[in-house]
Amino acid sequence: MAGTEHDLRRTLTAGLQALQLDLSEQQVDQLLAYQAMIAKWTKVYNLTSVRDPAEMMTHHLLDSLAAIAALQRHLHSAGLEQGSRLLDVGSGAGLPGVVIAICCPRVAVTCVDTVAKKAAFIKQAALALKLPNLTGLHARVESITETFDVICSRAFASLVDFTNWSVAALAPQGVWMAMKGKYPADELQALPPAIAMFHVEQLKVPSLDAERCILWLRPVS
């Protein structure tokens, strides 16, 4: 077991270097503890179909970490470095929401999921990992009355459904951050004229040979 933990830490550290993310030792420990929590809960509650620790590291943690620099650049350009609110829709086990909460302590992250056990896991993670900026919410995103500067999702739904369901929760100057695999040309064509993509970023996930991108969307004023 110790060897596995050592290997995971080594893979994570190498991945952070490749992504040029400068995290503290405490943040690295939190990420590893978070993955261990997912593995433990998945045995009972089936949070994720990925069971192998090494695969979980690449397909979940590093996949989520690949979006951090892009998010930080957006927050900087929007003047939100000192504090912002982010909603992770269909968060599941908290990917990428919990990873964002760990890496960006000034971002208040709410992870919403319609499955009660998944929202309960987020609440437990916030306590266990000592993340006061993380909230778990059991609800449908359409019912949320608060507003957020960034609304993100990771392989959650089509762009049309994602934006339509969450538009009421978007702050006046807010944006959507949709994490996708291959560039979803068909989904973009299906978007209504009231929503526009203003930026797309290709992501390179360390140790993962797969296409990944972030689509940045906003309402057309």
Of 45, 63, 81, the residue at which a domain comes to its end is: 63
Tens of pLDDT, residues 101-150: 999 999 999 999 999 999 999 999 999 999 999 999 999 999 999 999 99
Residue 5 is predicted with a pLDDT of 86
Q: Are residues 92 and 113 both part of a single domain?
A: yes
Cα distances from 120 to residues 172, 180, 213, in angstroms, run 30, 26, 29
- Provide the residue range defining the domain that includes 18: 2-63
Q: Are residues 125 and 206 both part of a single domain?
A: yes
Q: Are residues 33 and 92 both part of a single domain?
A: no
Tens of pLDDT, residues 86-107: 999 999 899 999 999 999 999 9
Q: Are residues 37 and 136 both part of a single domain?
A: no
Q: Are residues 88 and 167 both part of a single domain?
A: yes
Q: CA-to-CA distance for 21 and 147, rounded, in angstroms?
A: 28
Domains: count for the chain: 2
Residue 3 is predicted with a pLDDT of 52
Q: Are residues 51 and 93 both part of a single domain?
A: no
Q: Are residues 85 and 20 both part of a single domain?
A: no
**Of 122, 73, 66, 116, which Cα lies nearest the Cα of 98?**
122
Residue 158: both structure tokens together: 């089509």
Q: Are residues 93 and 56 both part of a single domain?
A: no
